[in-house]
A and B are shown apart, each in its own frame.
Chain A
Amino acid sequence: MEPKQTIQNTKEGMEIQWHGYLTVPFIKEWLIYTNQWETQKGKKIILHLNGIERIDSSGIQFLVFLKKRCQTNQQILSLTNHSLPVLKVLDLLGLVSFFGDRIKVKKEHSNEVEFRYGTRKVS
């Protein structure tokens, strides 16, 4: 699945809609796009993830990497509209509290994710 990004600049920063696979072969391409973020110091970056059809360890590592990078660049990274594959991995790896985003779970997906641990904020 070819990766596709639609970038929209807003007053507060930028909103990006992501599509495709967030897996090893595609992440290098994502990385090129993310270099544009450097110009957005101090602004908010919103990633819409409902288009992510598949995500693996490297994909989640990439999201963790982006979050940390934004923190050092004093940017706010917020993930939103999580697709089910993304939710499942965040749930499994207990990373919900790390990203700290609000998560909406569709009713039909409520059986697939548990959020039994890792939602607590790290002290």
Chain B
Amino acid sequence: MRDKLKIAVVKMTGCAGCQMEFLRLEEEFMDLLEKVDIEYFVMAKRENHPGPYDLVFIEGSVSTPRELEELRELRRRSEILVAFGDCACTGCIPSILNWVPPIVSSRVYEDFTAIHSRKESFQRIIPLAEFVEVDVHLRGCPPHKDTILEVLKAGLLGVKPWLRLHPVCVECKLKENGCLLTSEHRPCMGPVTAAGCGAICPSVGRICEGCYGPMSDANPESLARVFMEECGLSKDEVVRKFRKYAGAARAFLKVAGGG
């Protein structure tokens, strides 16, 4: 067990939503400062230290050579590397770009090459684990703040964090929601999505869109069949659903790839 944890919060290609969820620990923040030294967090601090760190939260995916270099350096300087949120774990929404032909993306900047020479972009969204060993995959867009606390606690105790990999359906049943998929034939992603959010969407009358990425041993092909046969979705619609938060994840690749 450690007395105090030296941590860093780093942003790569993400939206800052995961960092915002970290700062949503409003009630716990004062106590947190007793147990955690925030050594690096550019969004919150002017004095930032280069490490080494006990634990680093990396928000965002890798999409530039500069980020790749930084990621490798962070791996060397950190004991526990946390892929913080879907962008880091699976590429999240921006990974839809990976399926878009470059000609379409070049329309966004009329003279792409002018900037390209200075600030290169891979024009692809790549999860961290493609490049370095990741110790903890903290899923969600964003991960619920309780799961952030769980990772911090586990880091202090020197144990593996307990993160749920069963489907959202389990949490949904615990909330005693009626099932939107079986009784209303709406295309809910709950059966293949990792739990952790507390089944937020079905609890407010909306189907799960899969924002925690694939659960362990998900069976996306079977759910895809249900979507087509029982919910009346076309093949394109099914592909779009899987090519959303985790199209770049191996578990979903078969359906997300359109194959």
- A interacts with B: no
Residue positions of B touching A, CB distance < 8 A: none
Residue positions of A touching B, CB distance < 8 A: none
